[in-house]
A and B are shown apart, each in its own frame.
Chain A
């Protein structure tokens, strides 16, 4: 071995393979996983149409919102390992901007919600440069502070209806062909946003940027010494993790017909999203999906059960404790550790 070392090191220094961008894309298209995401999204999108079931649509719509929240929050918690307790602020603020533009300014719904996403991401980037210097519990506390501050601001912001919020009249749905088709339109878009969230998680995980983010999650100081521009990368992932939740917020509240501060900036939902991630498996792409669906089932069961209807959050908290203590890898981490062949399919 020793005699070949100098040659190997010298050779490593001159190695320069050529790969085009098209090759990179092709490499992903050959992988089964992105196709699984596309198929899953299509199935969720078409199921209520094929089954002709509106209550199924409502339940899947909520699931799509949950998956979007959990999956994007996973970019922070699972990839960068920064716990963002106030992640719901993206959803709420994006919701307000989207609904406001679509109703008061009569902007096209798609453009409105995209504008909400862009504004929220831009704000998140600026905030991120400030608060991402904090670590661990201090960062988590700061994110709660951001949510509460914006909550308080919106409650006192008259153009957005202050504490009563914004109510949509039936006219708001006219551009979409009336309330009925408007609801379906919002549903399809929310499912699309869910699919894009999953593809985003996949794209980031398999990119150079993602490698830097994973390195930050493992050991931020070591990552910086290796050359990862940590402050910028952290602010970018924070901003990215806000974009699709903000878009989803716009669609969800537009579909609901009302947005008011206590519903939009509810910390409970933030914590529920964390439970979903931990339940399914932090840092994986499929984990937050499984977690979101399981949690929605559980929540539905608890809300309608006579014994537990007031204990939903208590049980969510207990569940989080049990997972963190005994199954820190979540359901997917547990499965992947036992069934290695699953890894290619459930990333």
Chain B
């Protein structure tokens, strides 16, 4: 297994809050790595550090053999990291196709407009937005906007896809569809790092899971190991469903 992304001793403080503290983990080529933790554990901050939205105070990020620490988000995107946001950020006044074209044009492959149009159309189709291509992004439903976040990130043909709670707010049917979509993306050769609160989903999707709490790494292992880890259960105090759902969901 080769490492695609290494986060080494990442730390970031906001005023009096140590949001991320000496966090180290590795994402291997081709895997789905789950990042979980209680609310406020620092998961989204980790994503912000990885794709350059904020710079770490200390620590290093190595992606695909290159040091990308402190680079701005648009350069990180060019290196091949794409992100679907937890709070959807569609470009409301542009169409679904144009949204995806932005991803394709300015992502890893730096496509021209014509290539981007084709790539965007294919990806929109593959995530199930094929019939809404000319609709304005603002007119999509919540599930549609989630798919658009994903499609837009995928249009860049990234090496690593950061998925930030893409299942939140979806109904059970939509979650099933999305899980299939995520499996499909991995089969297409894209490595995935995902934050998720829907335990059943993350337990069944992930190859490995990293648990963080208060900005620190609490545990790391396969979904089954994580579910049986007493420290993790304490961190999720009261969430006894964790074990139960893990047992039915684990591969």
Interface residues of A (CB under 8 A from B): 1-2, 4-6, 8-13, 15-17, 19, 23-24, 206-208, 211-212, 214-215, 217-219, 221-230, 283
Contacts and interface: CB of A to CB of B under 8 A. Distances in A.
Given A5-B184, A6-B187, A215-B94, A225 B102 contact: no
B10 interface: no
A215 B137 CA distance: 12
Interface stretch (B83-91, B204-212, B215-223, B231-239): B83-91
B169 interface: no
Contacts of A8: 122-123, 125-126, 184
B186 to A, nearest CB: 8
Contacts of B94: 214-215, 218
A209 B116 CA distance: 13
Contacts of A2: 177, 180-181, 183-184
B116 A9 contact: no
Contact of B156 (A5, A206, A227): A227
A17 B187 contact: no
B110 to A, nearest CB: 8
B74 A222 contact: no
Interface string B146-166: 000000111111000000000
Contact of B112 (A12, A208, A226, A229): A208
A10 B122 contact: no
Nearest to A212: B106
B116 A208 contact: yes
Interface string B94-138: 100010011101110000111110110011011110000000000
Contacts of A221: 53, 89
A19 B102 contact: no
B127 to A, nearest CB: 8
Interface residues on B, range: 35 or more
B61 interface: no
Nearest to B153: A226
A212 B102 CA distance: 7
Contacts of B115: 15-17, 19
B9 to A, nearest CB: 24
Contact of A224 (B72, B114, B123, B185): B72
A227 B71 CA distance: 12
B91 A227 contact: no
Nearest to A16: B115
Contacts of B82: 226
B179 to A, nearest CB: 9
Nearest to B157: A13
A214 B106 CA distance: 13
Contacts of A214: 91, 93-94, 98
A12 B152 CA distance: 13
A225 B118 contact: no
Contacts of B184: 2, 5-6, 8-9
A19 B103 contact: no
